[in-house]
């Protein structure tokens, strides 16, 4: 029955949220967040996998094929979904996922900016070294 999967996906999402919960707190406190590019990409992969399971691999958003041939059960299934607020629960889970995506995107952008800054400094240092060699050649 698809309803049993809801709790499992919800607990996986809650564990993921707990795993990144320290990041906004650290940013708020002005602390450095020590996550590597690989760790951020892993978190993004986890998010996409979870989002895929919720929206594409589960039967939360559509009536399973099993009920199409059994109209009496399909009505019961629809009423059960309404009673359990499946649509609202999926919407809430997607909103949480979206918030997590925004946070991981922020971290990825921050790491990319750090990497770009480091490359810019390397270029400046290399240009400075080249200028020093040219000046040394001109004066000696």
Is residue 65 included in any domain, yes or no? yes
- Which residue range is the domain that position 12 belongs to? 3-113
Tell me the two tokens of residue 45: 């992969």
Is residue 121 included in any domain, yes or no? no
Is residue 130 included in any domain, yes or no? no
Is residue 99 included in any domain, yes or no? yes
Could you give the CA distance from residue 12 to residue 6 in angstroms, rounded to a whole number?
10
Could you give the CA distance from residue 54 to residue 6 in angstroms, rounded to a whole number?
9
Tell me the two tokens of residue 124: 């400046």
Q: How many domains does the chain have?
A: 1
Could you give the CA distance from residue 126 to residue 35 in angstroms, rounded to a whole number?
28
Nearest CA among 41, 78, 40 for reference residue 60: 78
Residue 26 has a pLDDT of 87
Residue 86 has a pLDDT of 80
Is residue 137 included in any domain, yes or no? no
Is residue 47 included in any domain, yes or no? yes
Instruction: Give the confidence band of 3 by pLDDT, cuts at 50, 70, 90.
Output: very low
Provide the Cα torsion 24, 15, 109, 26; round to 10°: 20
For the residues 14-21, what does the mean pLDDT come to? 90
Tell me the two tokens of residue 76: 């019961």
**Angle of helix 3-20 versus helix 37-52 axis, rounded to 10:** 160
Residue range 76-120, pLDDT digits in tens = 888 888 888 888 888 888 899 999 999 999 989 989 999 999 999
């Amino acid at each position: 029955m698809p309803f049993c999967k809801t709790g499992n996906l919800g607990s996986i999402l809650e564990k993921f949220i707990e795993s990144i919960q320290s990041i906004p707190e650290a940013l708020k406190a002005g602390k450095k967040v020590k996550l590597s590019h690989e760790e951020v990409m892993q978190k993004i992969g986890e998010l996409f996998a979870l989002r895929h399971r919720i929206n594409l691999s589960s039967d939360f958003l559509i009536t399973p094929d099993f009920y199409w041939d059994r109209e009496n059960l399909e009505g019961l299934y629809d009423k059960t979904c309404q009673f359990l607020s499946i649509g609202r629960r999926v919407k809430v889970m997607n909103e949480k996922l979206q918030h997590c995506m925004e946070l991981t995107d922020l971290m990825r952008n921050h790491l990319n900016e750090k990497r770009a800054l480091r490359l810019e400094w390397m270029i400046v240092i290399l240009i400075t070294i080249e200028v020093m060699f040219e000046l040394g050649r001109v004066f000696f």
